[in-house]
Amino acid sequence: MFLRPQDAIRLIDFDKVAEGFRYLGTREGFSKLYEAHGAPMHVIAPLRDGLRFLSDAFRTTPDDLREQADTIPGMADRVIPEVTASFFWMADPAWEAFAALLSLYSPPFVLYGATSLNEHQQLPSFTFAELASEFSSVSAPDLPPENCTT
């Protein structure tokens, strides 16, 4: 999901993160991770329990990872027993301005996500129509498909 680091840390369960990386559980620590990289980067992290507002489209479950490991050689080492999400960001003034506009003009609790071709040459996980349907389903009944944009 496209989310500023200071917002992403509210969704991440840093108690489930490897001990050597728990220092990233502060606003400053998590922001510095993106600032030090200097390019768009995604971080995959375990989610806190009870995030009812978060659509399943953003979640990767252990079952998802096992299924992927069964079909893609070399993925077995990526199976973990936690539900995760991918947090995509770049420490850049243009990205900050864009995120500020999104938060200013979007309804409360709206999250933005994207999907694309990946290194394994798989098609995206969702088509736009599937994403729009997911976001207007039971998991997010307050988000009509017309609020989903490409």
The pTM of the whole model exceeds 0.85: no
Whole-angstrom distance, CA of residue 144 vs CA of residue 132: 8
CB 14 within 8 A of CB 22: yes
pLDDT per residue, tens digit, the chain (150 aa), is 999 999 999 999 999 998 998 999 999 999 998 998 788 888 999 999 999 888 888 999 999 989 888 988 788 888 889 999 999 999 999 999 999 999 899 888 788 887 655 666 666 666 667 766 765 554 444 445 454 443
Give percent helix, percent strand, percent coil of the chain, each to the nearest 5: 45, 10, 45
Residue 110's pLDDT is 83
